[in-house]
A and B are shown apart, each in its own frame.
Chain A
Amino acid sequence: MKAAVIVFPGSNCDRDIEVALRQSLGREPQMIWHRDTALPALDLIVVPGGFSYGDYLRAGAMAAHSPVMREVIKRAADGVAVLAVCNGFQIATECGLLPGVLLRNKSLRFACRDVHLRVENPYTPFTQQYDDGEVVTIPIAHHDGNYFADDATHRALLDHDQIAFRYCDRAGALTPDANPNGSLDHIAGVFNRDKNVLGLMPHPERAADPALGGNDGRALFDSLVAALS
C-alpha cells in the first residue's frame, strides 16, 4: 500500500498519522506539502487534523479549495481511499467529498477527551478489523464537531450504510450524555456512498499505541493496510 499524508499550513496531527501509518504499514508514508499538487500513485491519502489556514472563515473552508484538494477529489473519484480526520473531516465536507457539515459544538466549548464509539459498519476497507457494534475508545479534540445534515441527507446516510461510527456510552447505548458535541444522530464519522472516503472527528492516530493510553484506533490503520496492500 502506498500512503500519503497531506500537510497544510496549520495541520498538527500529520506527524501522529505518519507514526500510526508507519507502525501498521512497516514503512514510511509520504508527507505531501499542500503546494505539491502533482501526487504520485497512491492507494491511501490522509487529510489530517489541525487548524488548516487558521480555520479562517469556517473550519476547513480554505483548505477545501486549495489546489491539492482538487487532486485529492480526483483521486477519490478514481477509487483511491481517503481518510479525513478531524479538521480533515471538516475539509472533506467543505469540498463535497462527504455529505453534511461540522458546526460549532453545542456546548460552545473545545472538547478534548476520550469518547466511546460504536462501530456501525465494519464492512469497509477502513473498518474491517472491527466487529459490528463493537465499542471502542478514541479521543476527540475539536471545537467544531457537531455533525449536521438535512433530513434528506440523513436519510440517504442511513439507507446506504454510510454512518461509520456513533458516539455512545461504555455499553454502546446512544445516551444524550454520550454525545460530546450535539451531533445529529450521534454521528462521529461518515463514509461516502462508495465507502472509499471516511471522515471522522475522533483521532484514531492518538489511540494507536498502548503507551499513549489506548490502542483502539490501530485497527483502523491495520484494516487499511490489509485491504489496500
Chain B
Amino acid sequence: MKARIHVTFKAGVHDPQGKAIANALQGLGFSGIDAVRQGKYIEIDLAGSDRAAAERSVKDMCAKLLANPVIENYRVDIDAP
C-alpha cells in the first residue's frame, strides 16, 4: 500500500514562501492569481493490506512528526493494495 500525505499550513498562518511564489508567477506574466499556499507532499510505502489500520497508523505519524499541529493540517490518502 502507498500512503500519500499532504501537509499544508492552516488558514491564518502566514506563508511567505507561498506569497513569494505568487509574486514570481505574476512576474512571469501569469494573471488571475489571488493567492498561493505551498506545502509538503510525502509518500510512504507500507507493508500489509489492512487499509483502516494503515490509515490510523499514518495519521498517528502525521500528528507526532510529519506535521506540526500548531500550524499545519494534513490529509492522508491510502492507495488500495
Residues of B within 8 A of A100 (CB): 70
Residues of A within 8 A of B71 (CB): 101, 103, 148
Interface residue? B17 (CB, 8 A): yes
Residues of B within 8 A of A149 (CB): 70
Inter-subunit contact A146/B64 (CB<8 Å): no
Interface residue? A41 (CB, 8 A): no
Q: What CA separation (Å) do A149 and B70 show in the bound complex?
A: 8
Other-chain residue from A107, A108, A148 in contact with B13 (beta carbon distance below 8 A): A148
Chain A interface bracket (under 10, 10 to 19, 20 to 34, 35 or more): 10 to 19
Inter-subunit contact B17/A61 (CB<8 Å): no
Q: How far is the CB of B19 from chain A (nearest CB, A)?
A: 9
Quick one: CB contact mask for A76-117 with B, threshold 8 Å, 1 for yes? 000000000000000001100000110111111000000000
Inter-subunit contact A182/B14 (CB<8 Å): yes
Within 8 A of A (CB), among B1-33: 13-14, 16-17, 20
Interface residue? A57 (CB, 8 A): yes
Interface residue? A27 (CB, 8 A): no
Q: What CA separation (Å) do A103 and B17 show in the bound complex?
A: 11
Inter-subunit contact A94/B13 (CB<8 Å): no
Inter-subunit contact B16/A57 (CB<8 Å): no
Q: What CA separation (Å) do A61 and B72 show in the bound complex?
A: 13
Inter-subunit contact B65/A182 (CB<8 Å): no
Within 8 A of B (CB), among A139-154: 146, 148-150
Inter-subunit contact A104/B68 (CB<8 Å): no
Inter-subunit contact B68/A58 (CB<8 Å): yes
Interface residue? B66 (CB, 8 A): yes
Inter-subunit contact B68/A61 (CB<8 Å): yes
Interface residue? A65 (CB, 8 A): yes
Q: Across chains A and B, which 6 residue pairs bring their CB atoms closest together, nearest first?
A: A101-B70, A108-B16, A101-B71, A106-B16, A104-B16, A108-B20
CB pairs A–B below 8 angstroms (29 shown): A57-B65, A58-B68, A61-B65, A61-B68, A65-B64, A65-B65, A93-B70, A94-B68, A100-B70, A101-B70, A101-B71, A103-B13, A103-B14, A103-B16, A103-B71, A104-B16, A104-B17, A106-B14, A106-B16, A107-B16, A108-B16, A108-B17, A146-B14, A148-B13, A148-B14, A148-B70, A150-B70, A182-B14, A182-B16
A103-B71, A105-B16, A149-B70 known, 11 other contacts, Cβ within 8 Å? A58-B68, A61-B68, A65-B65, A103-B14, A103-B16, A106-B14, A106-B16, A107-B16, A108-B17, A108-B20, A148-B13
